[in-house]
Amino acid sequence: MNHQITLEELGIIPKTEKKYVEPKKQYAFPCGGCICNHCANSVECWDDCTDEMEAPCFICDECINFDGHGRRQNRTECGRYKITNKYAEYLRKKFRVNGKR
């Protein structure tokens, strides 16, 4: 052996599972990774989402990335989030069938 034996290897202490931490992604623009980019209710939506909006959302106006004032609000969850059809089709194309059963 090339290392010191730990208590986990001896079985004295049960092995603990390491939690997977997703690495933070680096984007070229400050709004990258925000779900508002693909939300049908967002008035600042990047996708072509005509006639998909239920109620307009102006949360991006309060974000520091929008005009330099306010606080950073890169969102990963939102109660009013509604995915656009264009982005949903894009995500569906990424699905793969792993094998037949």
pLDDT tens string, the chain, 101 residues long: the values are 577 888 777 878 777 777 877 777 777 777 777 888 888 988 888 888 888 888 888 887 777 666 666 666 677 788 888 999 999 999 899 888 777 66
**Does any domain span residue 6?**
no
Residue 63 lies in a domain: yes
Helices (H) and strands (E) in the chain, counts: 3, 0
82 assigned to some structural domain: yes
Instruction: Say whether 85 sits in a helix, a strand or coil.
Output: helix
Confidence (pLDDT) at 89 = 92
Inside any domain, residue 13:
no
Per-residue model confidence (pLDDT) at position 58? 86
Q: How far apart are CA 90 and CA 101, in angstroms?
A: 26
Global pTM value: 0.61
How high is the pLDDT of residue 101? 62
Query: Do residues 60 and 43 make contact, with C-beta atoms less than 8 angstroms apart?
Result: yes
24 within domain boundaries: no
- The residue behind tokens 């693909």 is 38
C-alpha closest to that of 80 among 34, 36, 31:
36
User: Is residue 74 one of the residues assigned to a domain?
Assistant: yes
| Domain count across the chain | 1
Residue 49 belongs to what domain range?
29-94
